[in-house]
Chain A
Amino acid sequence: MSIPTLLPVGLDDHELLVDASLVREVLGEVAVIRVPQADLDVPGVFLWNGQAVPLLDLGHCLGLASAHSRAKTRTIVGKVNGELVGFGVHELSELFTVSETEFKPPRVHELPFASAEVQRDSSVSTVLDLPKLVAHVMHIKSVE
């Protein structure tokens, strides 16, 4: 059984944990090109390696209205469900590994697309089910 490696990202006061195997690159703030009539979950694109990569509004996807209040200085580029996607965050921390037994069902934070929670020092962080979130944005009913 492989030991999951997680990337902690900060969105306002929330620490979210992302499966590091999905991450392709971490960028700074990117220039977003707004796409007219796009869903609010994915309002635009940015250029990365000659491709137009959709930029998810993670705050909107998770219902965190306050996440819009300040600039997201880091952009995570990932490959999820076979598609390149990006999303901006406020902070990043060091990668870490956890054993499967450390994953607990989500109880402390009621966030959509949470697959588990992990105790980190004195706080509890939410493990984000990125494939499920991206499938939702793409209007896919299920993910294999």
Chain B
Amino acid sequence: MHEHTYLLFGKERWAILQHYVMRVEDIDAEQSPAPISLATWGIQMTDVESGGRVLRIKTPTSQWSLLLYGQLKSLTVDAGQVIDLPRSFFGSSPATALILRDDHRTPTLLLDPDRLYSSLIAAEDQP
């Protein structure tokens, strides 16, 4: 059985592969550059459950920090529970797959950290 562990956030709607998360830290107001938030995704403060934390993310091609609010959850699933999204329809999205849940909850969307970084930076640059 081939398993991977994912870090879930955003009320378990989204996840990234835990392998890319170097550390999880409390917010440091002095941190420079400032961590990137998901504010450009239109997440309302009513979605926020508790204080923020910063994920230090490192991939072969990028190193950056993601600011998150709410609970983080670690989830290990078999590779058979991860279903690829058809890229021909969702090439502009950082989401790459669905992670099916054993508990029959709504599946979680797996995000590619490099695509996520690019899309958040692009959104922040827009007026």
Question: Which residues in A have some Cβ–Cβ distance to B below 8 Å?
Answer: 31, 33, 35-39, 42, 45, 47, 50-52, 54, 83-84, 137-138
Interface Cβ pair total, 8 Å cutoff: 57
| A35 contacts across to B, CB distance below 8 A | 85, 90, 93, 95, 109
Of B14, B84, B93, B107, the residue contacting A47 (CB under 8 A) is B107
Give A16 Cβ to nearest chain B Cβ, in Å: 21
Q: Contact: A45 with B98, CB < 8 Å?
A: yes
Q: Contact: B107 with A37, CB < 8 Å?
A: no
Question: Which residues in B have some Cβ–Cβ distance to A below 8 Å?
Answer: 14, 41, 83-86, 88-90, 92-95, 97-98, 100, 106-107, 109, 111, 119
Q: Contact: B83 with A36, CB < 8 Å?
A: no
Could you tell me the dominant secondary structure of chain B's interface residues? Answer: mixed
Give A134 Cβ to nearest chain B Cβ, in Å: 9
Q: Contact: B98 with A52, CB < 8 Å?
A: yes
Q: Contact: B93 with A83, CB < 8 Å?
A: no
Given A35-B109, A36-B93, A45:B88 Cβ within 8 A:
no
Given A35-B109, A36-B109, A47-B107, A54:B95 Cβ within 8 A:
no
Of B83, B90, B106, the residue contacting A50 (CB under 8 A) is B83
Give B1 Cβ to nearest chain A Cβ, in Å: 18
Q: How far is the CA of A77 from the CA of B49 in the complex (A)?
A: 37
Of B41, B90, B94, the residue contacting A54 (CB under 8 A) is B90
Of A33, A36, A51, A138, the residue contacting B89 (CB under 8 A) is A138
